[in-house]
Amino acid sequence: MELHAISFFDKVKQMQKAFDDEVWDLFQGAKERKWSPDRRPEANKGERAGPSPDTVLSWGGAQSIEIYERMVEQMEDDMEGVNPQTPLGSAAVTMYGEGSKLDSEEMEMELDAFRDQQAPALGSDSRNIADAVELAELVRAKYGKYHDVAILRNTGQIAMNLYGPHLSQRAFPYTEKQYIQKLSTIVLMLNDFDQAWYVKQFLLSPIVPRNGLPSTPRFDTAVTLRLNLSPTWKNVPKEIVDGWFAFSE
């Protein structure tokens, strides 16, 4: 009787999972296939991007995708229960890889030094984002993953969105090279708008829930930074903005 009950509940769980998968495919999977089709070459589809001899990303110092995934899992575990309005402390240890663990105080000093180095300064190169690699590393440093990024215009709002899908997923629709190419265009746009400093300031700030939305990118909800709320957005010429979006709208 007990074995029968266990078998029954196992079947219920399997049915529930199958139902959840069908719901995901119906509402989210279909949308992703439509709006974000897999752009990878056939030979790369279904493969996880990760550390390799040809990579241009740091991958947090990981030497393999397996190590990187463990680092991401550890960071997510460490972040559970952490007040997002307090300093990151030991929860940020995995940002810099397994070989460079520091205690909480030392990590805070390292993070402060990193923020100071990257802080925007009028009239200096640090006001801009140097390239796609810097943007990718800023995203990973804050959220632990190389999340997908896009800049969109909708009903007068200009926003940079950070989506749940990330580079190390099998289903992520870009190779590392394609991901860097996409971010290269975003960097050019941000620098042309002179809003790279605003994005850097956001990515270097603590993780804080905003307006009731999730504090980190999720599969169903993006983290959104409205560029048009920047204090210097009023200085961006309208023709420059229109020129960038003329090809995508």
Query: CB neighbours of 135 closer than 8 A, spacing ≥ 6?
Result: 129, 149, 183, 186, 187, 199
The β-bridge relationship of strands 157-166 and 223-226 is antiparallel
Residue type, 70: R
pLDDT of res. 43:
87
What percent of the chain is predicted at pLDDT more than 90?
Answer: 45
pLDDT of res. 246:
86
DSSP H helices, the chain, are 2-24, 30-35, 65-79, 104-118, 132-143, 176-193, 196-203, 238-245
Band of residue 249 on the pLDDT scale cut at 50, 70, 90? low
Could you state, in order of their start, the residue ranges of all structural domains in the chain?
36-245
User: What is the rounded distance in angstroms from the CA atom of residue 192 to the CA atom of residue 195?
Assistant: 8
Q: What average pLDDT score do residues 142-161 get?
A: 92
Q: Is the pLDDT of residue 210 over 70?
A: no
pLDDT of res. 73:
85
Length of the chain: 249
Q: What average pLDDT score do residues 153-173 get?
A: 91
Q: What is the CATH number of domain 36-245?
A: 3.30.428.40
Residues 46-86: tens digit of each pLDDT: 899 999 999 999 999 999 999 998 888 888 777 665 554 44
Q: Which is more confident, 30 or 143? A: 143
Q: Is the pLDDT of residue 99 over 50?
A: no
Q: What is the pTM of this model?
A: 0.71
pLDDT of res. 115:
54
pLDDT of res. 90:
32
User: What is the rounded distance in angstroms from the CA atom of residue 52 to the CA atom of residue 65?
Assistant: 9
81: alpha, beta or left? (left if phi > 0; alpha if psi -120 to 50): left
What percent of the chain is predicted at pLDDT more than 70?
Answer: 64
pLDDT of res. 126:
75
Band of residue 207 on the pLDDT scale cut at 50, 70, 90? confident
User: What is the rounded distance in angstroms from the CA atom of residue 141 to the CA atom of residue 110?
Assistant: 12
